[in-house]
Structure 1
Amino acid sequence: MKGVLLVNLGSPDSPTAKDVKPYLDEFLMDERVIDVPKILRNILVRGIILQTRPKRSAKAYKKIWWEEGSPLIVISEHFAVKVRAQTDLPIALGMRYGSMSIRKAFQELADQGVDEVLLVPLYPHYAMSSYETVVVKALEEQQKHFPSIKVTTLPAFYHNPDYIRVLSRSIAEGLEDFDYDHVLFSYHGIPERHIRKSDPTRFHCKIDGSCCKVNSVAHHTCYRHQCYKTTDLVVEALGLPQDKVSTSFQSRLAGDPWLKPYTDYEFERLAKEGKKRLIVVTPAFVSDCLETLEEIAMEGKEQFEEAGGEHYKHIPCLNERDDWVALMASWIRDWQTEHILPV
Structure 2
Amino acid sequence: MKTNVILIRAHGGADNLRYEEFDLPPLAEGEVLIRNTACGVNYADIYEREGDHGGPHSAKPMPIVMGHMAVGIVEETGPGVSTPSAGTRVGYIGPNSYAAHTIMPAARVFPLPDALSDDVAGGYLLRGLTAEYLVRRLYPLGPGKTALVHAAAGGMGLLLGQWGRKLGARMIGTVGSDDKMRIARDFGYDAAINYTTEDFPDRVMELTDGTGADVIYDGVGKSTFRPSLDCIRPRGMVISYGTASGNVGEFDLQLLHSKSIIVTRPTLRSWIADAEEARAAAQATFAFLADPEVQTPIGEVLPLKDAADAHRRLESRATTAPIILKP
Task: Tell me which interval the TM-score lies in, with the shorter structure as reference length.
Answer: 0.3 to 0.5
Task: Say which structure, 1 or 2, has more relative contact order (CA 8 Å, 6+ apart).
Answer: 1
Is the helix fraction higher in 1 or 2? 1
